[in-house]
């Protein structure tokens, strides 16, 4: 299960950065390197960054609660 580890501002910045990078494929130098923009776009839309998880980082204001086994 993916736990959200990105705050709203972080998600907005990632989506915008992803769209700008992705636009390089269609506008400007027409380079395929613009496809790198898919990574921040997808992590921004989903709200989960695997690298943040590996590093133990979260930009959310309140850490998610863990459910207790009954």
Q: What is the pLDDT of residue 41?
A: 96
DSSP 33: G
Among candidate residues 1, 6, 36, 52, the one with its CA nearest the CA of residue 44:
6
Asked whether the beta carbons of 61 and 9 are under 8 A apart, the reply is no
Alpha helices in 4-70 (DSSP H): 8-26, 38-46, 50-55
pLDDT tens-digit readout, 13-55? 999 999 999 999 988 888 888 999 999 999 999 999 999 999 9
């Amino acid at each position: 299960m993916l736990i959200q580890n990105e705050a709203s501002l972080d998600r907005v910045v990632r989506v915008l950065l992803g769209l700008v990078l992705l636009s390089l494929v269609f506008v400007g130098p027409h380079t395929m390197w613009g496809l790198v923009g898919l990574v921040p776009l997808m992590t921004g839309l989903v709200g989960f960054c695997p690298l943040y998880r590996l590093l133990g980082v979260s930009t959310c204001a309140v850490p998610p609660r863990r459910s207790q086994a009954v």
